[in-house]
Each structure stands twice: as structure tokens, then as C-alpha cells.
């Protein structure tokens, strides 16, 4: 598989060379494959955001290097050279709808491609396509983005990011503040982009259920370093380790751990309710009539 992102011994120090210098990342090495879905978990202050900001050149390493979509970045890289990188990496920050500003939905989505040198017509064509992709109905394209519901405003903002046609989509808690239905729809939309558009997805989240349901890879950060870099199955197989690092379990895994305590045999703890139901169906007495009441 092609490496989409290659990070080698990345160190970052805030306000380096001053009395206020603070080390935020220490020797981070990480590979992310093209087309993969990676979840980054860890507490506030663990270095997640600092790491993310390197991926589109908002920050440059103090030492070490990273290669993102073919662009090599070190402390020496000129700011001008980072432009190319920003074409390839789309960022959805928390509450992206706060960044909407245009008069109409279509214009707002078309802003980025126009800014990157596309003609008005081309940009609006791309914008219309992206609006469909994120599930916005055509009827809203000419209305003001501020008349839409919170969930729809967020879709507009995300369409704006997709309109740059990035290869890598970085999502920083993209469902914060949405209700459960909105959250599910949003996560399913990203899954579709991952499956159909083959976007490489990097998701920063506190929602362990989302990690279990969507990610194929998990990176756990603490104090500016990686403490795990593995699959969800491996990371969630050790509840004690997670507890020690103040991290939660997906609901299914937590539930299965309770069953295991009662003596129900599991070889590995399941991650999703479908997996758990499958396993329970094997273990349960199959004759439907046996159950009373």
C-alpha cells in the first residue's frame, strides 16, 4: 500500500528558544496508508491538535520531518511551498459552520476552489457536485447558509472543504454538538466518502463507538507521544490498560466485559453490537419456544 502520510521523529516545541518554551510533541513516528481510516484518541492536551496542525502545514516541525501526499516538510520548508500541501489535505475543524460567511450555500462551497484558481463557473460546478455528495438537497443551494439547521450548516462547511478535492480528510470531532441522529448521519456520510471517493480519513474523537464502528486503525496519544498505534481490536482488547490511561471502551466492549465477568466465555471482546449479537446467538439455546413469558 502507498503511504499517504509518513511522519518521522517529529518534535514540536511551542515558543522554542524562549523562557516559555513548551514541548508539545516528542519523537512521533507514524505511517498512514492511502485509503485508510485512522482514529486518533487521547485527552485534551495530549498533543492531538498539534499533530494535526502539522498535516496541512499550519505548524512546521521543530525537528524531524513528515511527508504528506508527496510533500516533504521539515523545519526548513518555506511557507510558500506549503500551498501545494493544502490542496491535498482537507480540514474539518470543530464547529466548522462557524466559518460560513457567503450569501448563498453554493457561493460558500465554491469559495475555496475559486481561491485556489478555478473560474467562477468551474468552481460552482464543483460546489454543486459536493453539495450532492454531502446530502444537501438542490433546493437549498440558493438560500443563505444561515437559514439552515445546525446539521445542514455543518454539511455546507464540509462540502466547502471537499470542494478543494483533497485526498486526505482530517476530521476534528466533527459531530460535536449534534444530536444522536445528526451524529449518525454525519458519520455515515464520512463512511460513504471513505468507501466511494476513497478518501484517506483521519478522525480525532472521544467517541469510542465511532472508533469501533468506522476506523481500521487507532493511534493513542498521551503527553505529546504515541502510546499505541494499532487496530481497534487490539487496543480495545485490554480494558485495564485503557482504564489506566483514562480512556473509555466502546459500549459493546464494556457490555461484553460485564458478561465475561459473569462467566460468559469470549475469546476476544467484540467491538460492535452486531458482533456481540452474533456471538450471543451462538451461545444461546436456539429453540425459540423454550423461553417463557
Q: Summarize as ranges the residues that interact with other proteins (CB under 8 A).
A: 43-45, 149-151, 176-182, 184, 206, 208, 246, 248, 251-252, 255, 258-259, 262-264, 273-274, 276-278, 280-281, 283-286, 288, 291, 293
Measured from the CB of residue 249, what is the shortest distance to other proteins in angstroms? 10
Q: DSSP assignment of 83-140, as one string?
A: HHHHHHEEEE-SSGGGG--SSSHHHHHHHHHHHTT--HHHHHHHHHHHHHHTT--GGG
Measured from the CB of residue 208, what is the shortest distance to other proteins in angstroms? 8
Q: How far apart are CA 213 and CA 290, in angstroms?
A: 33
Measured from the CB of residue 79, what is the shortest distance to other proteins in angstroms? 27
Contact status, residue 211 vs residue 232, Cβ threshold 8 Å:
yes
Nearer to other proteins, 48 or 54 (CB): 48
CA angle 153, 189, 183 (to 5 degrees): 65
Nearer to other proteins, 116 or 266 (CB): 266
Nearer to other proteins, 45 or 70 (CB): 45
Q: How far apart are CA 237 and CA 159, in angstroms?
A: 36
CA angle 264, 208, 160 (to 5 degrees): 150
Nearer to other proteins, 105 or 128 (CB): 105
Nearer to other proteins, 97 or 108 (CB): 97
Place of cell 471502551: 249
Nearer to other proteins, 56 or 252 (CB): 252
Cell of 242: 485503557
Measured from the CB of residue 188, what is the shortest distance to other proteins in angstroms? 13
Measured from the CB of residue 257, what is the shortest distance to other proteins in angstroms? 10
Measured from the CB of residue 61, what is the shortest distance to other proteins in angstroms? 24
Q: How many CB atoms lie within 10 A of CB 105?
A: 29
Evaluated on CA atoms 118, 121, 124, 130, the torsion sign reads negative
Amino acid at each position: 500500500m502507498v503511504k499517504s502520510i509518513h511522519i518521522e521523529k517529529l518534535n514540536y516545541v511551542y515558543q522554542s528558544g524562549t523562557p516559555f518554551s513548551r514541548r508539545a510533541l516528542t519523537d512521533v513516528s507514524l505511517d498512514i496508508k492511502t485509503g485508510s481510516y485512522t482514529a486518533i484518541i487521547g485527552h485534551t492536551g495530549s498533543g492531538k491538535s498539534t499533530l494535526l496542525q502539522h498535516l496541512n502545514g499550519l505548524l512546521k516541525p521543530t525537528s524531524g520531518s513528515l511527508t504528506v501526499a508527496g510533500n516533504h516538510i521539515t523545519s526548513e520548508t518555506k511557507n510558500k511551498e506549503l500551498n501545494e500541501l493544502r490542496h491535498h489535505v482537507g480540514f474539518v475543524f470543530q464547529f466548522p459552520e462557524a466559518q460560513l460567511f457567503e450569501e448563498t450555500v453554493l457561493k460558500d462551497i465554491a469559495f475555496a476552489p475559486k481561491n485556489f484558481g478555478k473560474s467562477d463557473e468551474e468552481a460552482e460546478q464543483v460546489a454543486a457536485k459536493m453539495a450532492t455528495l454531502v446530502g444537501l438537497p438542490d433546493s437549498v443551494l440558493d438560500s443563505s447558509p444561515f437559514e439552515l439547521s445546525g446539521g445542514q450548516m455543518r454539511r455546507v462547511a464540509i462540502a466547502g472543504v471537499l470542494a478543494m478535492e483533497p485526498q486526505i480528510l482530517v476530521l476534528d470531532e466533527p459531530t460535536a454538538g449534534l444530536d444522536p441522529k445528526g451524529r449518525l448521519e454525519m458519520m455515515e456520510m464520512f463512511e460513504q466518502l471513505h468507501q466511494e471517493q476513497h478518501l484517506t480519513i483521519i478522525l480525532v474523537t472521544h467517541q469510542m463507538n465511532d472508533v469501533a464502528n468506522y476506523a481500521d486503525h487507532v493511534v493513542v496519544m498521551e503527553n505529546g507521544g504515541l502510546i499505541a498505534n494499532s487496530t481497534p481490536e487490539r487496543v480495545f482488547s485490554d480494558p485495564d490498560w485503557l482504564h489506566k490511561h483514562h480512556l473509555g471502551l466502546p459500549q459493546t466492549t464494556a457490555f461484553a466485559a460485564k458478561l465475561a465477568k459473569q462467566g460468559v466465555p469470549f475469546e476476544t471482546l467484540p467491538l460492535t453490537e452486531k458482533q456481540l449479537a452474533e456471538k450471543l446467538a451462538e451461545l444461546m439455546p436456539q429453540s425459540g419456544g423454550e423461553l417463557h413469558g
